[in-house]
């Protein structure tokens, strides 16, 4: 069957609503959020249900057509971008967007892959529960992508990553067969825990079409504070104080360097710094479902002790939910501010939490030595050791010139990460940008096992080609 016959067959499977082919309708699906990769979709499939996903994959598998699953298209590593050759079908899951069930007794939510994370959070809270996963892109990121990338985000220190919330999955395999495992069980030792293969696989092993996630009881009380600090070391000391005081209440502890804060204040309208300017800031979020808890008094006490010990220079506690949101905005707008500030090189790294200050000092020195006036603007999830060590172009360099130095910059940062036993990819994944790093860091038996799994589940290599594994990148030169 030639390509136009395959497209005809696809049209029959998906119906008139389900297949976009006009260049103006499909162009945006080829471009990643950072605009680093300009791909060209063969077409965009918008199936309405799992059966259509299965038929589509069966057809593409038979004819060797690459399929690129795409959710909210918010990947930081071009993980959902098709190749520029115009030979890969984008599989958009947005029409599979039903929340099928929220069960407050079992504390579970059953939902389809195209549901946005925010819609899922809202469905959970309407039932008196909380879906405790929070990421900057939650308004557009979809559950399928969130799970396929094992998203982390702000609450990892308390609730783990996306993987830790998954109880069951429905997954369509490359040959069109369907793993129907939407189980809502807390205990289920029945052979390999296959769901964990697909979580974090970046759509290379199967297409997640629905999931059952674990919920927690909704918080009754929450407190948010922003602290101005003398250093990252002081931030670490403050984290320790909070953990010793009440570890169960601490749901987020975010670090913002002063350079990163300044970019938000400059590029994001209606933002202001409510504390004294300082080398570093920490955003603290506490929450509890315990009625009548003394959360606020406890936080006041910890902050007073930190000020007394000169760990903390200044602090503000939100007085209302609106103020909580305003403080969080200073953190959540970091990516957007850096995008507006110009070209940036992102290093999504993790090190043991206690090594974060050391990492920041050494990586900053390495980058400053490479490029004069480079803007070193790190921020991130200090509570779990994941720092977004981002570098923004200095004013005197063109974007292309700066991006030309990406590999050198990333190599210098990764050297420090290695010395500290960290990871070059904490939560954003590998995508199209980092397969060579995966091979360098996880070669040998680890990569060989990954390849064996890929070969077993997707022998024709149709699922998200060019991502994760270095092969195609090397072939493309």
Q: Which position among 83, 364, 390, 393 is part of the footprint of ligand 2HG (CB under 6 A)?
A: 390
Residue 346 lies near ligand 2HG (rule: CB under 6 A): yes
Q: Which of residues 21-40 bind ligand 2HG (CB under 6 A)?
A: none
Helix ranges (H only) for 285-320 are 295-308
Closest CA to 388 of 430, 440, 336, 426: 426
User: In terms of CB distance, is 173 or 341 closer to ligand 2HG?
Assistant: 341
**What's the angle, vertex CA 91, arms to CA 88 and CA 96, rounded to 5?**
175
Helix (H) or strand (E) holding 256: strand 250-257
Q: Shortest gap between Cβ of 81 and ligand 2HG (angstroms)?
A: 17
Q: Are 466 and 83 in contact (CB under 8 A)?
A: yes
Which of residues 390 and 414 has its CB atom nearest to ligand 2HG in the complex? 390
Pick 169 or 374: Cβ nearer ligand 2HG = 374
432 is a site residue for ligand 2HG (CB under 6 A): no
Q: How far is the CB of 154 from ligand 2HG (least distance, A)?
A: 7
If the CB atoms of residues 136 and 394 are measured against ligand 2HG, the closer one turns out to be 136
| DSSP-derived secondary structure letter, 161 | -
Return the number of the residue (170 or 333) whose C-beta is nearest ligand 2HG. Answer: 333
Least distance between ligand 2HG and beta carbon 150 (Å): 13
Q: Please check whether residue 2 is in contact with residue 16, taking contact to mean a CB–CB distance below 8 angstroms.
A: no
3-state secondary structure of 308: helix
Single out the residue of 46, 388, 454, 467 in contact with ligand 2HG (rule: CB under 6 A).
388
Residues 262-301 close enough to bind ligand 2HG by CB under 6 A: none
User: What binding mask, one character per residue, do residues 221-260 give for ligand 2HG by CB under 6 A, x or -?
Assistant: ----------------------------------------
Which residues, 6 or more positions from 213, have their beta carbon under 8 angstroms from its beta carbon?
108, 109, 111, 120, 131, 143, 165, 166, 167
Closer Cβ to ligand 2HG, 73 or 335, answer by number: 335
Size of the site for ligand 2HG (CB under 6 A): 8
> With binding defined as CB under 6 A, does residue 467 bind ligand 2HG?
no
Find the helix or strand (DSSP H, E) in which 63 lies: helix 50-63
361 exposure class (CB count in 10 Å sphere: 0-12, 13-18, 19+): middle
Q: How far is the CB of 380 from ligand 2HG (least distance, A)?
A: 6
What residue number has its CB nearest to ligand 2HG? 335
Residues 230/310, Cβ–Cβ less than 8 Å: yes
Shortest Cβ 427–ligand 2HG spacing (Å):
6
Q: Binding pattern to ligand 2HG, positions 304-343, x when CB under 6 A?
A: ------------------------------xx--------
Pull the structure tokens for residue 144: 């399928």
Least distance from C-beta 334 to ligand 2HG, angstroms? 5
91-130 footprint of ligand 2HG as x/- string (CB under 6 A): ----------------------------------------
Comparing CB distances to ligand 2HG, the nearer of 83 and 334 is: 334
Would you put residue 32 in left (φ > 0), alpha (ψ -120 to 50) or beta?
A: beta
Strand 221-229 to 375-376 pairing: unpaired
Query: Rounded to whole angstroms, how far apart are CA atoms 142 and 114?
Result: 5
- DSSP secondary structure, 204-239, as one string: SS-EEEEEEEE-EEPPSEEEEEEEEES-HHHHHHHH
CB of 388 to ligand 2HG, least distance (A): 4
DSSP of 97-123:
--EEEEETTTTEEEEETTSBHHHHHHH
Q: 335 or 464: whose CB is closer to ligand 2HG?
A: 335
d(CA 261, CA 255): 10
CB of 404 to ligand 2HG, least distance (A): 20
d(CA 309, CA 301): 12
Nearer to ligand 2HG by Cβ, of 110 and 155: the residue is 155
In the bound state with ligand 2HG, the residue whose beta carbon lies nearer, of 26 and 263, is 263
Distance of alpha carbon 194 from alpha carbon 207, whole angstroms? 13
**Spatial CA neighbour of 344 closest among 367, 365, 322, 324:** 367
Q: From residue 126 to residue 155, what is the string marking binding to ligand 2HG with x (rule CB under 6 A)?
A: ----------x-------------------
Pairing of strands 312-317, 221-229: antiparallel
Cβ distance to ligand 2HG smaller for residue 167 or 353: 353
Binding footprint of ligand 2HG on the chain (CB under 6 A): 76, 136, 334-335, 346, 380, 388, 390
């Amino acid at each position: 069957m030639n390509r136009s016959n395959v497209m005809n067959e696809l049209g029959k499977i998906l119906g008139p609503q389900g297949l976009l082919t006009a260049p103006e309708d499909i162009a945006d699906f080829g471009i990643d959020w950072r605009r680093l990769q300009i791909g060209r979709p063969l077409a965009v499939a918008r199936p309405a249900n799992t059966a259509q996903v299965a038929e589509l994959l069966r057809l593409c598998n038979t004819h060797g057509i690459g399929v690129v699953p795409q959710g909210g298209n918010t990947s930081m590593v071009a993980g959902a971008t098709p190749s520029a050759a115009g030979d890969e079908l984008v599989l958009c899951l947005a029409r599979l967007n039903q929340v099928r069930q929220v069960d407050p007794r079992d504390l579970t939510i059953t939902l389809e892959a195209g549901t946005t994370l925010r819609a899922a959070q809202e469905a959970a809270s309407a039932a008196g529960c909380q879906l405790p996963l929070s990421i900057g892109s939650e308004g557009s990121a979809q559950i399928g992508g969130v799970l396929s990338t094992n998203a982390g985000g702000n609450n990892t220190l308390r609730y783990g990553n996306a993987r830790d919330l998954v109880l069951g999955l429905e997954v369509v395999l490359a040959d069109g067969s369907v793993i129907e495992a939407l189980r809502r069980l807390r205990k289920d030792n029945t052979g390999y825990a296959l769901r964990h293969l697909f979580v974090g696989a970046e759509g290379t092993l199967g297409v997640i079409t629905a999931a059952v996630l674990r919920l927690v009881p909704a918080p009754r009380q929450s407190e948010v504070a922003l602290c101005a600090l003398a250093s990252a070391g002081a931030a670490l000391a403050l984290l320790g104080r909070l953990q010793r005081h009440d570890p169960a209440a601490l749901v987020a502890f975010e670090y913002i360097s002063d350079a990163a804060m300044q970019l938000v204040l400059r590029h994001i309208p209606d933002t202001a710094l409510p504390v004294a300017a300082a080398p570093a800031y920490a955003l603290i979020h506490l929450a509890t479902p315990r009625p009548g808890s003394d959360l606020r008094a406890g936080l006041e006490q910890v902050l007073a002790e930190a000020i007394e010990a000169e760990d903390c220079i200044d602090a503000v506690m939100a007085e209302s939910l609106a103020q909580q949101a305003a403080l969080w905005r200073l953190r959540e707008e970091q990516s957007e501010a850096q995008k507006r500030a110009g070209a940036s090189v992102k290093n999504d790294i993790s090190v043991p939490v206690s090594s974060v200050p050391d990492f920041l000092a050494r990586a900053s020195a390495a980058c400053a030595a490479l490029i004069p006036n480079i803007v070193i603007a790190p921020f991130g999830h200090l509570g779990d050791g994941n720092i977004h060590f981002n570098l923004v172009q200095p004013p005197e360099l063109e974007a292309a010139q700066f991006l030309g130095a990406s590999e050198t910059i990333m190599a210098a940062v990764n050297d420090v990460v290695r010395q500290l036993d960290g990871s070059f990819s904490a939560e954003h994944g590998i995508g199209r940008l980092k397969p060579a790093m995966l091979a360098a860091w996880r070669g040998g038996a680890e990569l060989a096992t990954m390849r064996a799994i890929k070969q077993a589940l997707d022998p024709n290599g149709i699922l998200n080609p060019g991502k994760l594994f270095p092969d195609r990148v090397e072939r493309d030169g």
